Amino acid sequence: MNTLLDSLWVQNALVFAGLSLVAGLIASGARNERWRRALRRLRRDRIGLCAGAGIAVYLLVGLLEMVQIPTGDGGRVSVLVRMAGGVVEEKSYSAPLASHSLSVARPEPLKGRHLLGTTALGKDTLLQALRACRTALIIGGVTSLIYIPLGTLLGITAGYYRRWVDDLISYVYSTLASIPEILLLVSILMALGKGLGTMSLALGVTSWVGLCRLIRGETMRQAERPYVTAARALGQSHWKIITSHLLPNVLHLVLINFVLGFSGLVLAEAILSYLGVGSPVGTPSWGAMIDGARDELSRDPVVWWNLAAATGALFGLVLSLNVFGDALRRAFDPKRG
């Protein structure tokens, strides 16, 4: 199971499936008049649009790192690395834009200039930070493929049928919510093994609770509306009422939760990698870069650029996601004209 989930092709397929799920969600909701009004409001929100453009840049970089192309020696390399083909590796540390390696005793000339310096293994820091976008995309895409359908389905089911169905689902998510999330994640990863696929599975198992609660409450409110009563009076089946009436009216909450939850997933990956139970060794990850930069701050001279590159890239994505999520929330607010 661990080997299958951590297969490059399986991860790529799951990410594209997750992105297709979100695209289908948006396409389905776009037929709703409420979504069209929200889109018009969003177009007037310049800050939200700038945040959306920032997210698109991260998404593009992550996709370029995911797509693999063959090399002349029979191997494979990502499109992002091929585009940065002029970036050479050094023997060890080098400071940003330095001409010699970071060595007090014997500084050696570098093969090239590096905008953000190099790591202990001589790899370009900027390229490593960009390659880590793929890890964030895998964590967000694969996890969303698990928790969005699960949370939405269980939330609508609990809110619509109520009674013992609601009690059972509420008992399950209340039990999960009572366990400290970080301890539950570490336990699952220790049982299944380290890897991006297993990390996505662990995050998916724990992330559906908040979405389920949100959808359950909104479904209870929508189920009392006259249009649902009219659908029941016309003899429509429960499945028809759920899919044709209730689901379109809660999809905007799913979209907002996905955008805001994505930042939480990226931060969770960074924390788990920092703790040493996240990304496998050798996988470009902001959390792994931050973990590796801990001892570098005590060097003389201080190696600060690895930590700065990882935290800067992580901060930029999380900030863009939060700002864009708030813009979506304002756009869908029914109190706004």
Q: How many residues does the chain have?
A: 337
Q: Categorize the per-residue pLDDT at 274 as very low, low, confident or very high, splitting at 50, 70 and 90.
A: confident
- Mean pLDDT within 269-273: 81
Q: Residue 1 above 50 pLDDT?
A: no
Q: What is the arithmetic mean of pLDDT over 126-137? A: 86
CA distance 274 to 291: 5
Q: Calculate mean pLDDT across residues 124-145.
A: 84
pLDDT bracket for residue 73 (50, 70, 90):
low
103 versus 5: which is more confidently predicted?
103
Q: Which residues contact 101 (CB under 8 A, 6 or more apart)?
A: 90, 91, 92, 93, 94, 107, 108, 109, 110
Close Cβ partners of 38 (under 8 Å, ≥ 6 residues apart): 252, 328, 331, 332
pLDDT at 28: 65
For the segment 287-292, the average pLDDT, to the nearest whole number, is: 81
The mean per-residue pLDDT over the stretch 18-29 comes to 69
Tens-digit pLDDT profile for residues 140-150: 878 888 888 88
Closest CA to 155 of 144, 165, 141, 142: 165
Mean pLDDT in residue range 134-144:
83
The least confident of 38-52, 53-67, 79-93, 210-224 is 79-93
CA atoms of 149 and 212, how far apart (whole Å): 10
Give, in order, the Cα–Cα distances in Å from 112 to each of 90, 94, 120, 122, 161: 8, 10, 16, 11, 65
Contact status, residue 211 vs residue 152, Cβ threshold 8 Å: yes
Please report which confidence band the pLDDT of residue 336 belongs to, taking 50, 70 and 90 as the band edges: low
Domains parsed from the chain with CATH numbers: 29-69+116-332 (1.10.3720.10)
Closest CA to 114 of 94, 84, 134, 92: 94
pLDDT value of residue 335 = 61
Query: Collapsing DSSP states into helix, strand and coil, what is residue 124?
Result: strand
Interval 238-260 mean pLDDT: 81
Cβ 66 vs Cβ 140: under 8 Å:
no
Whole-number pLDDT of residue 36: 78
Beta-carbon neighbour count of residue 46 at 10 Å?
Answer: 9
* pLDDT at residue number 75: 66
pTM: 0.82
Q: Indicate the average pLDDT of the chain.
A: 79
Q: Kindly report the CA angle at 34 between 33 and 39, in degrees rounded to 5?
A: 95
List Cβ neighbours of 318 (8 Å cut-off, separation of 6 or more). 263, 266, 267
Regarding predicted confidence, which is higher, 180 or 15?
A: 180
When pLDDT is averaged across residues 4-22 and rounded to a whole number, the result is: 66
Say if residue 74's pLDDT is above 80: no
How far is it, in rounded angstroms, from Cα 299 to Cα 238?
65
Residue with tokens 């049982």: 191
**d(Cα 197, Cα 139) in Å, to the nearest integer?**
8
Given a cut of 80, whether residue 48 has pLDDT beyond it is: yes
> Using alpha carbons only, how large is the chain's radius of gyration in Å?
23
Highest mean pLDDT among 52-56, 191-195, 281-285, 328-332: 52-56
| Banded pLDDT at 125 (limits 50, 70, 90) | confident
Q: Does position 105 have pLDDT exceeding 70, yes or no?
A: no
Q: Which of 79-100 are b and which e, b meaning 16 or more Cβ less than 10 Å from the residue's Cβ?
A: ebbeeeeebeebeebbbbebee
DSSP lists the bridge partners of residue 68 as 78
Q: Which two tokens stand for residue 274?
A: 């920092």
pLDDT of 177 higher than 70: yes
